[in-house]
């Protein structure tokens, strides 16, 4: 017995309840560096409650579809941004909160050149690249306090393409 | 009349006077995500004086060698981290400070999978990818105040490979 989830195309609007979709779509906010660089400014709603921002790297195993999972987690004290360091999309699993437990999970896949930022407290799956190097830069909260809550779904969920 | 600069291989030690070299070399600080991800934790000395951290994207033109420049800049109020979003190295030009002006410039080239963070106040060249998509995530200071100083070298400098 398992639950199948079909990947949805990610858009800023569809992802907005969970976080920020960050890319170079549209016009930049500023042109800098003598005209040779566009700046898409300040695109993530970041939070680092009572602590500070840190920059870390994650080296994650490449996954394949269909992808089975039952672990979700959230960070109650801060946001968490994921920037792929290769030109690849990646699988993003999130869930709305329902009384301090995750509701029905939703799966998105980013496009190459896109990063995402989970808002503070958003339930999400672990980092799941589907191609590329598996190297990501992560901007999240560095400090004391319990900033990790995990939840195991009672039924395995399986992510597939539509 | 111009000054030629030969690119040096980048190492954490050689880059230390200017900033942090950030990569997945060596053992991770933690294994997370049920054993499927290594975390290289908190690898940048970030500063956001009197303001906050922001995450922006830069879309920079790809440059070719030999690369001629005379503009250097620095950010007196904060650090600035550059994360390439394709698996490519990029050219990094820095200079020591000498009485509030840049001293002799130094050129490094990162390897694929490496990011860098300029320490607060480090003189550096503009963003100069040599290959890849030219998309970078940038973590720097978002806030009021004059956080940009520019300096035009009186003589053009030309960066070449050794």
Cβ B59–A43 below 8 Å, yes or no? no
pLDDT mean over B13-22:
98
Q: What is the pLDDT of residue A91?
A: 98
Answer for the pair A102, A161: CB distance below 8 angstroms, yes or no: no
Considering only the beta carbons, identify the residue of A24, A53, A142 that sits closest to B59.
A24
Strand-pairing partners, residue A59, are A135, B38
Closest CA to B5 of B71, B104, B152: B104
Cβ B39–A54 below 8 Å, yes or no? no
Cβ A53–B57 below 8 Å, yes or no? no
Please tell me the distance from the alpha carbon of residue B7 to that of residue B28, in angstroms, as a whole number: 29
Answer for the pair B91, B107: CB distance below 8 angstroms, yes or no: yes
Q: Does the pLDDT at position B27 exceed 90?
A: yes
Answer for the pair B130, B90: CB distance below 8 angstroms, yes or no: yes
According to the 3-state scheme, what is the secondary structure of A97-141? EECCEECCCEEEECCCCCEEEECCCCEECCCEECCCCCEEEEEEE
| A52-89 b/e (C-beta count within 10 Å ≥ 16 → b) | ebbbbbbbbeebeeebebeebbbbebbbbbbbbbbbbb
Closest CA to B123 of B146, B152, B162, B157: B152
Cβ A37–B53 below 8 Å, yes or no? no
Answer for the pair A19, B12: CB distance below 8 angstroms, yes or no: no
Can the peptide bond before residue B66 be classed as cis, meaning omega within 30 degrees of 0? yes
Burial of A1 (0-12, 13-18, 19+ CB in 10 A): exposed
Q: What is the pLDDT of residue A147?
A: 97
Q: What is the pLDDT of residue A161?
A: 96
Q: How far is A82 from chain B (nearest CA, A)?
A: 10
The model's pLDDT over A3-34, given as tens digits with 9 standing for 90+, comes to: 999 999 999 999 999 999 999 999 999 999 99
Cβ A28–B59 below 8 Å, yes or no? yes
Say which CATH number the domain at B73 has.
2.60.120.480
The model's pLDDT over B41-65, given as tens digits with 9 standing for 90+, comes to: 999 999 999 999 999 999 999 999 9
Strand-pairing partners, residue A21, are A116
Residue count of chain B, please give it: 162
Cβ A139–B139 below 8 Å, yes or no? yes
The model's pLDDT over B86-137, given as tens digits with 9 standing for 90+, comes to: 999 999 999 999 999 999 999 999 999 999 999 999 999 999 999 999 999 9
Considering only the beta carbons, identify the residue of A40, A126, A127 that sits closest to B57.
A40
In this prediction, the residues of chain A whose per-residue pLDDT falls under 50 are none
Q: How far is A90 from chain B (nearest CA, A)?
A: 13
User: B64: which chain A residues are within 8 Å (Cβ-Cβ)?
Assistant: none
Inter-chain Cβ pairs, chain A and chain B, closer than 8 A: 155
Neighbours of B61 (CB within 10 A): 15
Please tell me the distance from the alpha carbon of residue A81 to that of residue B72, in angstroms, as a whole number: 29
Q: How far is B85 from chain A (nearest CA, A)?
A: 4
Q: How far is B6 from chain A (nearest CA, A)?
A: 22
CA distances from A6 to A91, A97, A109, A161 (A): 11, 20, 10, 5
Q: What is the pLDDT of residue B34?
A: 92
Interface test with A, best of B44, B131, B137, B152 (most A CBs within 10 A): B137
Question: Which residue segment(s) compose the domain that B48 sits in?
Answer: 3-160
Q: What is the pLDDT of residue A33?
A: 94
Q: What is the pLDDT of residue B156?
A: 97
How confident is residue B153, by pLDDT bands cut at 50, 70 and 90?
very high
Q: What is the pLDDT of residue A156?
A: 97
Considering only the beta carbons, identify the residue of B34, B46, B83 that sits closest to A137.
B83
DSSP code for B63: P
Please tell me the distance from the alpha carbon of residue A13 to that of residue B143, in angstroms, as a whole number: 26
Q: What is the pLDDT of residue B1?
A: 84
Number of domains comprising chain B: 1
């Amino acid at each position: 017995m398992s639950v199948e989830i079909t990947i949805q195309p990610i858009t800023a609007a569809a992802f907005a309840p969970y976080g920020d979709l960050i890319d170079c779509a549209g016009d930049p906010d500023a042109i800098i560096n003598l005209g040779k660089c566009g700046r898409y400014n300040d695109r993530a709603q970041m939070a680092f409650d009572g602590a500070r921002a840190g920059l870390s790297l994650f080296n994650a195993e490449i996954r394949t579809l269909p992808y089975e999972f039952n672990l979700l987690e959230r960070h109650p004290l801060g946001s968490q941004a994921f920037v792929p360091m290769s030109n690849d999309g990646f699988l993003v699993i999130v869930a709305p909160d329902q009384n301090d437990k995750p509701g029905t999970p939703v799966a998105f896949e980013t496009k190459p050149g896109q990063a995402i930022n989970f808002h503070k407290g958003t339930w999400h799956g672990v980092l799941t690249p589907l191609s590329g190097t598996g190297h990501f830069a992560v901007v999240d909260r560095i400090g004391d306090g319990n900033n990790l809550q995990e939840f195991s779904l009672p039924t395995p969920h399986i992510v597939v393409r539509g």
